[in-house]
Amino acid sequence: MRAALVGAIAVIMAVALPQQASAQQQGQCAPPENTVAQPEPWAQKRLGAERVWPMTRGGVAVAVVDTGVSAAAPSLAGAVTAGADVAGGAADSDCAGHGTFLAGLIASRPQPKTAFAGVAPDAQIIPVRVTSDPGKVDPAALAAGIRVAVDSGARVVAIGVLNTVSTPELQAAVDYARTRDVVVVAPAAVRQPKQRAYPASMDGVVAVAPVGPDGPAKTVTLGAQPMLAAPADQLVGIGPSGPGHRLAAGPELAVAFVAGSAALVRGQYPDMSAADVIKRLTATADKPAGQVPHPVVGYGIVDPVAAVTTLLSGQTKAPPSKEHVVVALPPVEDRGPARAALLFVAALGGAAVVGGGTALAVMRARRRRWKAA
């Protein structure tokens, strides 16, 4: 499976990424993606969110504050609202493709002939365009985008751009989201050392650090103490159009998996406050060894299954569910043959005691019994 995934990723890198870069350099929109990645991506396998889909598929509104989100992406069909461009107009198109990729990680619906899907495939995406270039963002536009996202009814706001400038307007926008009980998720990464990440450094914002298949990213600079970590390297996702997939990496993309997990929790616990959603995400994260919060991964890698299903201290009843749900657990070693051998040897031991009637026979039978066990 791993070899197949690597092969699929190699194809996507060879086919999709050069075309995307060329199109952007020419001032054009990214071309349709037609190469389909069939194996389950490593990030999706790592989190295993599909195990709680019988309980919750994250049917809440999630705002993606980025370059817009394409409503033409097949796996997001019917999931993208008109949204808003802070410069005026709708935001349900995406020339750059960055916001669509992020939204796909959150809410892509399962499609035939591929295992790829988003964390919360019933989430409704509210696109909020604050830039057309994911490498550049005006903090004033970012602040306006957060307010638009909240006013549009988002229960979770996923910020997909890096920003290193703090302004009173941005702080006020974050405070506005908190008073409206909205979970705000933002990247903890920055581009240069000694920079600070905003709004990730602000109180109440879930700052997310990136990890790869082999652990924490080694070449990323963090500008905020991370609260959680999530996959951000070798990610398979979608483009603005076409049924295929592309490969991408970027520390800001980790935001998608935490935002999707927050959507699952809010879908399962609709009356839970934003602050308690954040507490649940941090309490159930896959904890690192040593210091917690860890300077690189915070409280650990987000775990959407544990976040939905864990009975936390002070919680008096199990997670609500409309139907009986069995959450898949890791395979357990089949100990049936060992038990059968133990019973067989015990029976031989009993026969030896009855037939021989000597202490020596009893001792031998007992030795044989424990050896088999």
pLDDT band at residue 298 under the 50/70/90 scheme: very high
For range 35-43, the mean pLDDT: 96
pLDDT digits (tens, 9 = 90+) for 115-138: 999 999 999 999 999 999 999 999
Average pLDDT, the chain: 84
- Whether 319 shows a pLDDT value over 50: the answer reads yes
Is the CB of residue 236 less than 8 Å from the CB of residue 245?
Answer: yes
Find the distance separating the first CA and the last CA of the chain, reported in whole Å.
Answer: 35
Residues 6+ apart with CB under 8 A from 70: 76, 80, 92, 93, 94, 97, 100, 239, 240, 241
For range 158-177, the mean pLDDT: 98
pTM over 0.85: no
Between 296 and 346, residue with greater pLDDT: 296
Cα–Cα distance list, 286 to 161, 283, 298, 310 (Å): 25, 9, 10, 13
Query: Which residue, among 81, 73, 78, 138, has the nearest Cα to 102 in the 3D structure?
Result: 73
- Whether 172 shows a pLDDT value over 70: the answer reads yes
- Whether 35 shows a pLDDT value over 60: the answer reads yes
Between 344 and 96, residue with greater pLDDT: 96
Quote the pLDDT of residue 223.
98
Give residue 206's Cα distance to chain centre: 13
* Pairing outcome for strands 228-231 and 206-212: parallel
Query: Which residue, among 133, 190, 187, has the nearest Cα to 157 in the 3D structure?
Result: 187
- Structure token pair of residue 221: 């600079």
Instruction: Tell me the domain boundaries of the chain.
Output: 2-309, 336-372
The CATH number of 2-309, from 3.40.50.200, 3.40.720.10, 1.10.150.110, 3.40.50.720, is 3.40.50.200
pLDDT digits (tens, 9 = 90+) for 349-366: 443 333 443 333 334 434
Assess whether the previous peptide bond of 304 is cis (omega < 30° from 0). Answer: no
Cα–Cα distance list, 37 to 32, 67, 188 (Å): 15, 24, 29
Element at 350 (helix H, strand E)? helix 336-356
Classify 31 as helix, strand or coil. Answer: coil
Quote the pLDDT of residue 303.
98
Q: Which residue has the tokens 């066990």?
A: 373
